[in-house]
Amino acid sequence: MKKIFEKHDLIKIILIAILFVFLMTWIVPSGVYQGGEVSGVLQRTGIADISLGGMMSVSFFLQQIVFLVVIGAFYGILTKVEGYKKLVENIAKKMKGNEIPFLVVVTVLVAVLTSISTNVFVTLLFIPFLITVIRKMNLDSITAYTATFGAMLIGILGATYGTEGLISFVSYLKYYTTTTINVEIAVRAGILLLALVLFEFFQITYAKKILTDKKNKEEKTEDLFAVEDSKQKKVKTWPVIAGGATLFLFAILGFVDWNTNFNLDIFTKFHEWLIGLQIGDYSVIAYILGENAAPFGEWQLYHIIIIMVIVLTILAIIYRIRFNDILDRIEEGTVKMLKPIGIITLIYIIFVFMYWSPIVPTIVSWFEGLAEGFNPFTSTISASIASFFHSDFRYTGYALGNLLSNYEGDSFNIAFVIYSTMNGFMSMFAPTSVIAMLGLSYCDIPYKKWFSYIWKFLVGMLVCLLVIFMLLTYL
């Protein structure tokens, strides 16, 4: 068995998950929740559906896939910019002896940004840079993963005002309830803080061991966008710093829902004013921005891609990069992202199967029926099952919104917390987790190695969550 998973283990594990879900559609009837009961028939997935499922997975999640391609192209060019090389080199040198505080700050920033952003993928824009810096500091791939992709998973676990999954989960629940994203926001923020503290404990303990263990420093796993030290003594780094700061600013402004979450409509009003500007009878600004322009707080990934292109164009001009070299680097960077993209495309096939054959309502209804009224333990199991099968949390709201609305008052609020939190908890290790498996592929980390690192955190976090769920229910 060990030999089977020695190579390409992520792909093999995901293929096993696909086969498992495929077989489950032959055993469990698809469920539709109506009139207080779940009813349905078997909707078996056939062999021909597997091929179509792969095509549909690309169709459903094309924006995310294109964004990853653009990130590959972006860093493919950036790694050849002398100012970027020098910046990475300078940060790594200055943080020598301060690796632990650096890791803590990066982990907290990434987790919080993920927790409040309307799209978790926007955080990926900064991940290759952070991983390169961390690896340059003689830390291993696991440490780089925990501070970046791991921190993103913590942000999903403790989602507060963000993640597209939670936002859509709420929007589907609104068909049946008057709920908002503010449900038990203090509790969910507390869970985020608790998860960060526990996660940092294991991260710091492990990183200290790596820093004092010469054998671990010799790790040969690849950093996809590693850079060599700049050979030029005097290199301007301020354009790269300014470009990075610009991208970070637009990521915050564009992907935090200021209007809904904080009742700040200043960006909406500014956008309306801007596109309303006219020269004579012509709305010139509206023509330039286009019909798909959106106010800050309502951006999609294609909006930030434009900013990435503008920043990269300016850097190419400043550092005098030839157009042919740019095209070569785009090709090189894109190729490097093919495996991570292939990984998430496979995972999205599972989502397609669940879209065609919604078996989760049937399973969840059975578990929820084991107890009279609301029970935090059965809900935790149900939420975990839903999160495993639904690689996109948005679909949980669509498939189970009617069922969850059957709870009222405090019971509904607690169920809301359980489902949103357990989605993040399962995302830490489930083979159907897009961010976890994407990160493992990017960092070239075997699944077994990640699980052997994270299992203690998972046990401790699960115990804490069950205590929180019980206190919310019975006090």
Query: What confidence score (pLDDT) does residue 46 get?
Result: 87
Same domain, residue pair 213 and 279: no
- Count other C-beta atoms under 10 Å from residue 274's C-beta: 13
Q: Which residue has the tokens 């926007």?
A: 122
Same domain, residue pair 159 and 268: no
**pTM more than 0.85:** yes
Does the residue 469 lie in any domain? no
Handedness of CA 238, 240, 246, 249 (dihedral sign): negative
Does the residue 36 lie in any domain? no
Same domain, residue pair 264 and 336: no
Does the residue 370 lie in any domain? no
Handedness of CA 200, 124, 85, 244 (dihedral sign): negative
The token pair that represents 352 in the structure block = 């397609």
**Chain-centre distance of CA 138, in angstroms?**
26
The DSSP string of 202-253 is HHHHHHHHHHH-HHHHT-----TT--PPPS-SS---HHHHHHHHHHHHHHHH
Distance between CA 418 and CA 90 in Å, rounded? 44
What domain range includes position 278?
A: 258-296
The token pair that represents 57 in the structure block = 């997975």
Query: What confidence score (pLDDT) does residue 230 get?
Result: 80
What are the angstrom distances between the C-alpha of 172 and each of 177, 400, 419? 9, 9, 14
Distance between CA 337 and CA 314 in Å, rounded? 24
Query: What confidence score (pLDDT) does residue 431 get?
Result: 94
**What is the domain count for the chain?**
2
Same domain, residue pair 276 and 214: no
Same domain, residue pair 290 and 190: no
**What average pLDDT values come out for the chain (475 residues) when binned by 10 residues?**
67 93 91 70 85 86 93 94 93 92 96 95 96 93 96 95 91 87 94 97 94 64 84 87 96 93 90 85 84 90 95 93 92 94 93 90 85 88 93 88 84 94 95 95 93 96 96 91
Same domain, residue pair 241 and 277: no
Does the residue 452 lie in any domain? yes
Same domain, residue pair 262 and 150: no
Query: What confidence score (pLDDT) does residue 1 get?
Result: 52
| Residues in contact with 472: Cβ distance below 8 Å, sequence separation at least 6, in sequence order | 184, 187, 376, 410, 413, 414, 417
Query: What confidence score (pLDDT) does residue 285 get?
Result: 84
